[in-house]
Amino acid sequence: MVPDQHIRLSQLNERIQDTINSRFKGQTHWVVADVTNHSFKADKKIHYFELVEKSEKDSTITAKIMGKSWGAGALRILDFEITTGQRFTNNLHVLVQVSVDFHPLYGLSVNLLDIDSSFMLGILEQQRNATLARLVRENGYIWKEGEEYSTLNSRLKLPEVIQRVAVISSSSSAGNEDFRHTMVHNDFGYAFRIDDYHTVVQGDNNAKLFLNKLIDVYNTGIPYDAIVITRGGGSQSDFLIFDNYSIARAVAKFPIPVITGIGHQKNVSITDLMAHTHTKTPTKAAEFIIAHNRSFEESILALQRTIAIKSQNLFLGHYKELSQMKNAVLHNAAALAASHAKQLDIIREQIGRNSGTLLHDNQKRLLVASQKALQRPAMLLVERKGELLQLRNAVKTFANAYLCRQELTLEHHHKTIQMMSPQNILRKGYAIIRVKDAIASSAESIRQGDDIEVILKDARLISTVKEKIQYDGREPDL
């Protein structure tokens, strides 16, 4: 049976519309709520969403209303995204200004007119500060030093050269491609071993997956020089995973240096603070590693240059000493030879004089003996002749022995002179430097760009001086 009194649904909705318009017309309200079921029509620049309120006890929904935003409201949402770096999407806790609207066809809803950026920034900052305070409070290997944080990982010493690198990133990450391209195509020809460990690197709810991948790197037992965490750009919510307590704690105590390059330009994540080194982008992380290796190479090259300079200076010092010693040996040898020649002449004169005297004396004795012999038996004559013969042999033996000793002395000096000769010195690894056909005993006569001749034991080398560095004889600082 149809009641006599009835109205159409459209009439009822019109009455509801009139009632709501009369009650809420011209009024706006600032509302705190969570965003769900969000969608954006890019062609019309309209946001559709729901605003919900959840219970603090069990997170059940206690209130819900449809919402939309376009025109000036959509522009305010765009300003919000630029200011906070946070994309307007689901699961945001926001403070928004709305007006109430009822449409006969679409029902009750609110129009978003404005959104408070500072409210969102405040919530994120509160959560961030609470996580940082908890990390310091609950972990003895993390402490705050001024505005910086010192962790077990940040206190690790990077290897002198980084070659083996484990990269944790998304399998489709453009940032990881940038990192690998920069590492492989570096200007210095460094070779790296880069192992990829792919996982999800966005969304706080994926923190467990990320943490498991970090554990997988450790369990491989591969002695990586560094762990690199990379990610491309994204909204604020995409980076919430890097503010996760468990991930930050794991990075802080990881036994291998962790380098982050997660592409977040607006601020630094908690994971960045707990890591050994944080950079802005994956490319910057690669550049940091390359620069680290280049620094080591430059220190080795500087050491090489220092060794070359010290060796050259040492050689020049020894060469100068050898030249002085050579001159001294030549001078002393000539003086010694002259002295011995003079002594030989004296000895020769003495021998001649003594021999004459001896012969004369003997002749006198012979005369005496002959006279006596005439008076003595022949036996006495034979005896005297024997004595004369012994005396003559003694003189001859003495003269020969003395001459042999002097010849040995001269031979010894000759060998000494040969050992100190330039040819023998060159065979020992030293060299002679000639500039403009003259031997250079110091660097004063040598200028940058001069042609020099280096004389070795078996070759002459013609070189051009590229650089001249003064050396005062003291050890340079390495």
The domain spans of the chain are 9-115, 142-280, 304-425
Judge if 9-115 and 142-280 fold alike in CATH terms: no
Q: What is the pLDDT of residues 116-135, one digit of tens each?
A: 887 876 677 778 888 888 99
Q: Residue 271 and residue 267: Cα distance in Å, rounded?
A: 12
Judge whether residue 478 has pLDDT over 50: no
Judge whether residue 432 has pLDDT over 80: yes
β-bridge partners, 102? 108
Q: What is the band of 139 on the pLDDT scale with cuts at 50, 70, 90?
A: very high
Maximum Cα–Cα distance across the chain: 205
Least reliable range by pLDDT among 279-293, 337-351, 461-475: 461-475
DSSP for 147-208, written as a single string: TEEE-TTTTSPPPSS--EEEEEE-TT-HHHHHHHHHHHT-TT----EEEEEE---S-GGGHH
Judge whether residue 59 has pLDDT over 80: no
**Two tokens, residue 91:** 């699961």
Instruction: Answer yes or no: are the C-beta atoms of 276 and 158 closer than 8 Å.
Output: yes
9-115 to CATH, choices 3.30.70.2750, 2.120.10.80, 2.60.40.1120, 2.40.50.140: 2.40.50.140
Q: What is the pLDDT of residues 176-187, one digit of tens each?
A: 888 999 999 999
Q: What is the pLDDT of residues 255-276, one digit of tens each?
A: 999 999 886 555 688 899 999 9
Q: Which residue has the tokens 């004296």?
A: 346
Q: Residue 358 and residue 349: Cα distance in Å, rounded?
A: 14
Please enumerate in sequence order all residues whose Cβ is within 8 A of that of 6, keeping only pairs 6 or more positions apart, or say none: none
DSSP state of 441: S
Q: What is the pLDDT of residue 462?
A: 87
Q: Residue 279 and residue 408: Cα distance in Å, rounded?
A: 81
Burial (CB count within 10 angstroms: exposed 0-12, middle 13-18, buried 19+), residue 35: buried
Q: What is the pLDDT of residue 109?
A: 92
Q: What is the pLDDT of residues 363-379, one digit of tens each?
A: 888 887 777 766 666 67
Q: What is the pLDDT of residue 2?
A: 57
Share the mean pLDDT of the chain: 85
> Using alpha carbons only, what angle is made at residue 251 by residues 250 and 254, rounded to the nearest 5 degrees?
85
Q: What is the pLDDT of residue 473?
A: 60
Percentage with pLDDT > 90 across the chain: 32
Q: Residue 301 and residue 293: Cα distance in Å, rounded?
A: 12
Q: What is the pLDDT of residue 303?
A: 92
Q: What is the pLDDT of residues 89-114, one digit of tens each?
A: 887 888 999 999 998 888 899 999 99
Instruction: Answer yes or no: are the C-beta atoms of 90 and 98 closer than 8 Å.
Output: no
User: Residue type for 84, please?
Assistant: T
Report the CATH number of the 142-280 domain: 3.40.50
Q: What is the pLDDT of residues 211-223, one digit of tens each?
A: 888 999 999 999 9
Q: Which of 142-146, 205-209, 436-440 has the highest mean pLDDT?
A: 142-146
Q: Which residue has the tokens 């928004």?
A: 96
Region 431-435: mean pLDDT is: 85
The pTM for the full model equals: 0.50
